[in-house]
């Protein structure tokens, strides 16, 4: 038995594959990834020479490739991470988000449906398509509003969130119309090892270490619910193993924090772990122009997954952020390698416009 993972060279996907294969008894993984700017084979370096990991460089929009992989490996499950994932990039150029997140998910669903239709008996009953999605599909909350439950309507506000919401709808429809055994997870903001330094937490860590400005959009009082990536991976494993087909599971860390607090927490940890002779890192904080349409608050009500599947996060924000900062301190070579020409171009054009 094998599982097929898409996007397994990205941040969460690579953490998932590494965690999965850390279990000596785990099923092998076929890892399909297009290696966009966000995909990085270095994330999987620990699996070099491990026959249980088969890496395939390819696009989820390539139906012929999908058919070949499904026929060859006959996976018992498909775990779908592959996506364009950065809100700011979706504002600069939404086309890639429509292509991968919507059309790519459609192609994957169709290939999975054909594969599943060809199965029989126990293999057909056991097959699962797990779609990894985000809390951003639910839109933005006011300060006193209750956290998102699975019953909240989809009210996406950014091109990224809209493309993920569209993919969630496709997944739902393939279950209701064709009976495909799907599971959908909507998770809050992740952080941890291997996160590309375009996202807030790794960007602040690498800029602070380099003595560069730490850009906070607007007033910095936007609230996100932060979850350590290892906890997201354990939640996905729980949903895959025990989730009910056709159901949606919200995943969150019960860790609502405004961006300003996140940035200050990272500064304080770096000052402790790697003091800077020039003074406290918080001196580098700069408020820059806000993101257009910036969602004010996300919060996840994760009681359903706790009640039905017994899952709870193991890391608090304090333990998770300390591990994360330590990982970036210990992996300077990884950081240097991802700061390629295209990364520098993104940072230069995006932040130049924010002033």
User: Which of 59, 168, 225, 301 is in the footprint of ligand NAD by CB under 6 A?
Assistant: 59
The H or E element that residue 268 is part of is helix 259-273
Which range touches ligand NAD (CB under 6 A), out of 59-67, 237-245, 264-272, 283-291? Answer: 59-67
Residues 84-113 that bind ligand TYD (CB under 6 A): 87
Q: Minimum distance from CB of 222 to ligand TYD (Å)? A: 4
- Within its chain, how far is the Cα of 10 from the centroid? 8
Nearer to ligand TYD, 105 or 259 (CB): 259
Q: Minimum distance from CB of 243 to ligand NAD (Å)? A: 16
Does the protein bind ligand NAD through residue 33 (CB under 6 A)? yes
Distances (CA, A) of 85 to 94, 96, 132, 168, 338: 11, 10, 11, 14, 17
The rounded distance, in Å, linking the Cα atoms of 130 and 237 is 10
Q: Find the catalytic residue in 135, 198, 225, 231.
A: 135
- List Cβ neighbours of 256 (8 Å cut-off, separation of 6 or more): 223, 224, 225, 297, 299
Which range touches ligand NAD (CB under 6 A), out of 64-72, 77-85, 144-152, 266-274? Answer: 77-85
Q: Find the catalytic residue in 33, 59, 138, 160.
A: 160
Antiparallel, parallel or unpaired: β 53-57 and 29-33: parallel
Contact 6, 81 (CB under 8 A): yes
Work out what residue 216 binds among ligand TYD, ligand NAD, none; the CB cut-off runs from 5 to 8 Å by kind.
Answer: ligand TYD
- 256 catalytic residue (yes or no): no
Does the protein bind ligand NAD through residue 9 (CB under 6 A)? yes
CB atoms < 10 A from the CB of 65, how many?
17
Distances (CA, A) of 29 to 20, 75, 109, 236, 295: 9, 9, 19, 15, 36
Does the protein bind ligand NAD through residue 35 (CB under 6 A)? yes
- 110 catalytic residue (yes or no): no
Tokens 């359903």, residue? 304
Contact 297, 140 (CB under 8 A): yes
Residues 106-145 that bind ligand NAD (CB under 6 A): 132, 134
Contact 180, 125 (CB under 8 A): no
For residue 335, give both structure tokens. Answer: 């950081």
Distances (CA, A) of 274 to 310, 320, 327, 334: 38, 18, 13, 18
User: Which of 80, 131, 224, 232 is in the footprint of ligand TYD by CB under 6 A?
Assistant: 224
- 160 catalytic residue (yes or no): yes
Q: Which residue, among 32, 27, 26, has the nearest Cα to 8 in the 3D structure? A: 32
Contact flags string 111-130 toward ligand TYD, x per CB under 6 A: --------------------
Does the protein bind ligand NAD through residue 7 (CB under 6 A)? yes
Catalytic residues: 135-136, 160
The residues binding ligand TYD (CB under 6 A) are 87, 189, 199-200, 203, 215-217, 222, 224, 259, 291
The residues binding ligand NAD (CB under 6 A) are 6-7, 9-13, 32-36, 38-39, 59-61, 81-83, 85, 100, 104, 132, 134, 164, 187, 189-190, 196
């Amino acid at each position: 038995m094998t599982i097929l993972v898409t996007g397994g060279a990205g941040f969460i996907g690579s953490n998932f594959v590494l965690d999965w294969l850390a279990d000596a008894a785990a099923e092998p993984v076929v890892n399909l990834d297009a290696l966009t700017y966000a995909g990085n084979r270095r994330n999987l370096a620990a699996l070099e020479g491990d026959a249980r990991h088969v890496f395939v460089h390819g696009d989820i929009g390539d139906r012929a490739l999908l058919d070949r992989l499904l026929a060859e490996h006959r996976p018992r499950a498909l775990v779908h991470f592959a996506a364009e994932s950065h809100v700011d990039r979706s504002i600069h150029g939404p086309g890639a988000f429509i292509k991968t997140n919507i059309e790519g998910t459609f192609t994957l669903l169709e290939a999975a449906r054909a594969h599943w239709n060809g199965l029989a008996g126990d293999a057909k009953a056991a097959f699962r398509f797990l779609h990894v999605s985000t809390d951003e599909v639910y839109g933005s909350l006011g300060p006193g509003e209750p956290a998102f439950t699975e019953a909240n309507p989809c009210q996406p506000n950014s091109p990224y969130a809209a493309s993920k919401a569209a993919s969630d709808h496709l997944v739902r429809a393939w279950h209701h119309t064709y009976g495909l055994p799907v599971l959908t997870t909507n998770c809050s903001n992740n952080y941890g090892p291997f996160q590309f330094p375009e996202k807030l937490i790794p960007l602040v860590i690498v800029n602070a270490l380099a003595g560069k400005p730490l850009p906070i959009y607007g007033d910095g009082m936007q609230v996100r619910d932060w979850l350590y990536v290892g906890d997201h991976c354990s939640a996905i494993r729980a949903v895959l193993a025990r989730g009910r087909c056709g159901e949606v599971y919200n995943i969150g860390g019960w860790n609502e924090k405004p961006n300003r607090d996140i940035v200050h927490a990272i500064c304080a940890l770096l000052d402790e772990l790697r003091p800077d002779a020039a003074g406290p890192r918080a001196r580098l904080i700069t408020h820059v122009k806000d993101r257009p349409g910036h969602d004010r608050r996300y919060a996840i009500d994760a009681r359903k997954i706790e009640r039905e599947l017994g899952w709870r996060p193991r890391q608090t924000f304090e333990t998770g952020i300390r591990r994360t900062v330590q990982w970036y301190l210990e992996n300077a070579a990884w950081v240097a390698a991802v700061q390629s020409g295209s990364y520098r171009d993104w940072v230069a054009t995006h932040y130049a416009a924010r002033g």
